[in-house]
Amino acid sequence: MEFPHINPVAFEVGFIVIRWYALAYLAGFLLGWRYALMLAYRDDSAQKKGQGQGREMRPDRTDIDDFLVWAIPAVILGGRLGYVLFYNFPYYSTHPAEIFQVWKGGMSFHGGVIGVTIAMLIYAARHKIPVFQLSDIISAVAPIGLFFGRLANFINGELYGRATTVPWGMVFPGGGPEPRHPSQLYEAVLEGALLFVLLQIMIKYKIHHKVPGMITGAFLLLYGAFRFLIEYVREPDVHLGLLFHYVSMGQLLCLPMICLGAGIMLYARQQRG
């Protein structure tokens, strides 16, 4: 299959250039924010109806609105610094002026997770919100941003997969003449759509009310597992290759996510008793 060659620029207004990648971030934040408000509203309704089982059902909608101001820079700054440190530190250590030139590309999901986690811990402490009640909501909405982000990667023809003979293999610009796995679409389906559905099922059964932290742990565990598997068909970064001759940097970063997710789920279960 031939790559569809979609223009990475969505539209231009004078000297202002709007790219699909920027719109993907915008869609992720806006739709995630609206969905988070829905979840917070449900929590507030449960409290008003006396269904909160004795716990203060926060974050409320005001908390979500306020935290958005924290989350946006945390994701962008964490994602950029994560890329610099995890994927290309030798280069940026000699070109420090380029670290904050995000328009040239280079973001790390794992760095974004670290950034927003730090923001959640600080915000929850300052506003006296149980951190797992906040992180459960943020974890439930995160796959929305992941879905749009991976679609933007596909449009840009970046982060493509390894050479393959499967019928749906695509010839990507810059990827040579060989058909390759459209690994961006695999990630959009697994890390975005499927993960969202699985977490939504947990929310439907009010797992975040009954066992705070369980959705947070499930998100970390499932994302880590999905990403780890997809990395086997995703082309490693040229300047990194495979670490220890077997795993990619993405897989290496997923291992602590999987362990942490499993640990949080076990801890949440024990706290529930």
Whether the per-residue pLDDT at 161 is higher than 60: the answer is yes
pLDDT in tens, 192-224: 999 999 999 999 998 988 999 999 999 999 999
pLDDT at 48: 53
pLDDT band at residue 61, thresholds of 50, 70 and 90?
very high
Q: Which pLDDT score is estimated for 42?
A: 58
Q: Is 229 exposed, middle or buried (0-12, 13-18, 19+ CB in 10 A)?
A: middle
pLDDT band for position 50 (cuts 50, 70, 90) = very low
Q: Is the pLDDT of residue 57 over 80?
A: no
Mean of pLDDT over the chain: 90
Q: How far is CA 165 from CA 145, 180, 186, 244, in A?
A: 30, 8, 16, 26
CA distance 63 to 56: 13
